[in-house]
């Protein structure tokens, strides 16, 4: 039997690496979202597009039953999620199979077949990577090396970082909407629509 929580989990986000992990957690906290964030070792070990089919066979994402056990506030009925999407935030530069890459850029994951969660998956891309997108939207800080990525912890601090409030997240969404290097604006629009508000 499904749960019927009014403020159930609105999304689960699978993050490519540390940069995406820090950004998503900042947005989650700033907007007070009931959202799950999945990454390997808090993003220290990356997940590639070509490996997403493996992720969707693990103990968390194998089917509706498994994901609702891992995230018990996801509302669902039988084998269908109710008002919850699964976002995959991925760099495309390390995807060497052009058909898999192009499929992802068109909003589809290769290798999933008739997976139970397929209707809820929303691929978000960064061409070629997260830093290229930040440069393109003229974000105030862009890491130049892998070592610099540690600074994203401060840059994306939910209390004082560069996207620590609705106005800044909205500005980032609007900048991403003008970029041809990402569809991150779709994810940010969804987050803004699901932010916690007192009635």
Give 89-144 pLDDT, tens digit per residue: 999 999 999 999 999 999 999 999 999 999 999 999 999 999 999 999 999 999 99
Asked, for residue 2, whether it belongs to a domain, the answer is no
Q: What is the pTM of this model?
A: 0.94
Asked, for residue 128, whether it belongs to a domain, the answer is yes
Asked, for residue 60, whether it belongs to a domain, the answer is yes
- Inform me whether the pLDDT recorded for 26 exceeds 70: yes
- Inform me whether the pLDDT recorded for 75 exceeds 90: yes
Q: Which of 136, 107, 119, 36 is nearest to 79 (CA)?
A: 119
For residue 7, the model assigns a pLDDT of 66
For 2-6, 43-47, 179-183, which range has the lowest pLDDT when averaged over its residues?
A: 2-6
pLDDT band at 6 (very low <50, low <70, confident <90, very high): very low
Percent of the chain at pLDDT > 70 equals 95
For residue 199, the model assigns a pLDDT of 56
Spatial distance between the Cα atoms of 159 and 174, rounded to a whole number of angstroms: 21
User: With contact defined as beta carbons under 8 Å apart, do 126 and 89 qualify?
Assistant: yes
Percent of the chain at pLDDT > 90 equals 89
For residue 197, the model assigns a pLDDT of 72
Asked, for residue 174, whether it belongs to a domain, the answer is yes
Of the chain, the end-to-end C-alpha distance in Å amounts to 29
The first and second tokens of residue 151, run together, are 């600074």
Domain coverage including residue 41: 11-193
Q: Which 3 state secondary structure label does DSSP give 155?
A: helix
How much is the average pLDDT of 170-199?
A: 94
For residue 5, the model assigns a pLDDT of 37
For residue 164, the model assigns a pLDDT of 87
Q: How far is CA 158 from CA 28, 135, 165, in A?
A: 8, 21, 8
For residue 91, the model assigns a pLDDT of 98
- Inform me whether the pLDDT recorded for 156 exceeds 60: yes
For residue 160, the model assigns a pLDDT of 86
For residue 49, the model assigns a pLDDT of 98
Asked, for residue 163, whether it belongs to a domain, the answer is yes
How much is the average pLDDT of 175-196?
A: 97
- Inform me whether the pLDDT recorded for 53 exceeds 90: yes
Number of domains in the chain: 1
How much is the average pLDDT of 70-82?
A: 94
């Amino acid at each position: 039997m499904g749960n019927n929580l009014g403020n159930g989990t609105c999304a689960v986000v699978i993050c490519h690496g540390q940069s995406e992990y820090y950004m998503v957690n900042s947005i989650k906290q700033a907007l007070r979202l009931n959202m799950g964030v999945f990454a390997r070792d808090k993003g220290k070990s990356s997940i590639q597009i070509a490996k997403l089919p493996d992720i969707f066979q693990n103990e968390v994402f194998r089917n509706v039953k498994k994901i609702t056990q891992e995230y018990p506030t996801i509302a669902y009925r039988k084998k269908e999620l109710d008002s919850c999407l699964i976002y995959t935030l991925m760099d495309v530069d390390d995807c060497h199979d052009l058909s898999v890459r192009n499929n992802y850029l068109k909003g589809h994951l290769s290798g999933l077949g008739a997976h139970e969660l397929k209707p809820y998956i929303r691929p978000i891309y960064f061409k070629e990577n997260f830093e290229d997108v930040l440069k393109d939207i003229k974000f105030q800080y862009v890491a130049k090396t892998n070592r610099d990525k540690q600074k994203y912890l401060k840059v994306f601090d939910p209390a004082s970082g560069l996207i620590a409030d609705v106005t800044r997240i909205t500005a980032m969404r609007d900048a991403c909407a003008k970029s041809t290097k990402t569809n991150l604006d779709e994810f940010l629009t969804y987050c803004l629509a699901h932010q916690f508000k007192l009635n």
